[in-house]
A and B are shown apart, each in its own frame.
Chain A
Amino acid sequence: MKLVTEAAWVAGSAAVAGLGVALVDVGKTGQVTWAAGVVFLAFGCCLAGLVAALRRWAPGGSSFLLWPTALLVALGLVLIYRIDPVEAPIQLWWIVAGIVAAIGILLTFRWGVEGLMPVGYWLAATGLCLIVLPFLSRLLGGGANAARGLWLTIGWGNVSFMVQPFGLGAVLLAVGLAGIHSRWALESPSDRADNRLVSIRDLLVMGVVWVTTLPLLWATGDLTAWAVLVVLSATIAYAATGDRRVVWTGPALVGIGFVAGLTSSRARVTLEVWLDPFSAGEAGAGLKESLLALGSGHLSGSGLGMGDPELVPRATSDWILAALGEELGLAGTVAVIVLYGLVTAAGVGVSIGSRDLFSKVAAAALSFLLCLMFLASAGGLQRLLPPTDMGLPFLAYGGIPLIAGWVAMALLVRISHDGQGPL
Chain B
Amino acid sequence: MTDFVFTALRLIFLALIYLFVWYVAKGIANYLGLGDSLRTTRPGSRLVFIRSESQSGMHFTVADSVVLGKSPDADVPIDDPYASEFHLRISRRQGKLSASDLGSDNGTYLNGRRLRTPVDLARGDALQVGRTVLEVR
Contact = CB atoms under 8 A, between A and B. Distances in A.
A422 B21 contact: no
A257 interface: no
Contacts of A354: 56-57
Contact of A335 (B10, B11, B21, B31): B21
Contacts of A191: 81
Interface string B68-105: 00000000100001000000000000000000000000
B50 interface: yes
B32 interface: yes
Contact of B24 (A328, A342, A355, A419): A342
Interface in A163-215: 191-194
Interface string A14-34: 011001100100110010000
B131 interface: yes
Given A301-B10, A349-B31, A421 B58 contact: yes
Nearest to B10: A303
Nearest to A354: B56
A300 B10 contact: yes
A194 B51 contact: yes
Given A301-B10, A342-B24, A346-B31, A71 B56 contact: no
Given A30-B1, A194-B51, A342-B21, A352 B6 contact: no
A423 B131 contact: no
Interface of A is mostly: helix
Given A15-B16, A328-B14, A423 B54 contact: no
B131 A12 contact: no
Nearest to A78: B13
A353 B133 CA distance: 12
A177 B93 CA distance: 48
A284 interface: no
A26 B32 contact: no
A331 B14 contact: yes
Nearest to B51: A194
A300 B12 CA distance: 11
B7 A71 contact: no
Given A194-B131, A335-B18, A303 B7 contact: yes
Interface in A317-357: 328, 331-332, 335, 338-339, 342, 345-346, 349, 352-357
B54 A19 contact: no
A64 interface: yes
Nearest to A329: B14
Contacts of B53: 193, 357
B59 A64 contact: no
A34 B59 CA distance: 50
Q: How large is the interface on B (under 10, 10 to 19, 20 to 34, 35 or more residues)?
A: 20 to 34
Nearest to B27: A64
B77 to A, nearest CB: 9
A98 interface: no
A13 B17 CA distance: 9
A421 B49 CA distance: 11
Nearest to A30: B1
Interface string A94-128: 00000000000000000000000000000000000
Given A12-B20, A191-B81, A423-B58, A64 B14 contact: no
Nearest to A194: B131
B65 interface: no
A422 B59 contact: yes
Nearest to B3: A303
Interface string A353-367: 111110010000000
Contacts of B60: 422-423
Contacts of B10: 23, 300-301, 303-304
A355 B58 contact: yes
A338 B25 contact: yes
Given A194-B51, A352-B50, A354-B57, A67 B14 contact: no
Interface of A: 12-13, 15-16, 19-20, 23, 26-27, 30, 62, 64, 67-68, 71, 75, 191-194, 300-301, 303-304, 306, 328, 331-332, 335, 338-339, 342, 345-346, 349, 352-357, 360, 419-423
Shortest beta-carbon contacts, A-B, top 8? A419-B57, A423-B58, A353-B57, A349-B32, A64-B27, A303-B10, A423-B60, A64-B28
16 contacts: A13-B20, A26-B1, A30-B1, A64-B28, A67-B20, A71-B20, A75-B17, A193-B131, A194-B131, A339-B24, A352-B50, A354-B56, A355-B55, A419-B56, A421-B57, A423-B60
Given A339-B24, A349-B31, 16 more contacts: A13-B20, A16-B13, A16-B20, A26-B9, A27-B6, A30-B1, A64-B24, A64-B31, A67-B27, A301-B10, A338-B25, A355-B54, A355-B56, A419-B56, A419-B57, A420-B57
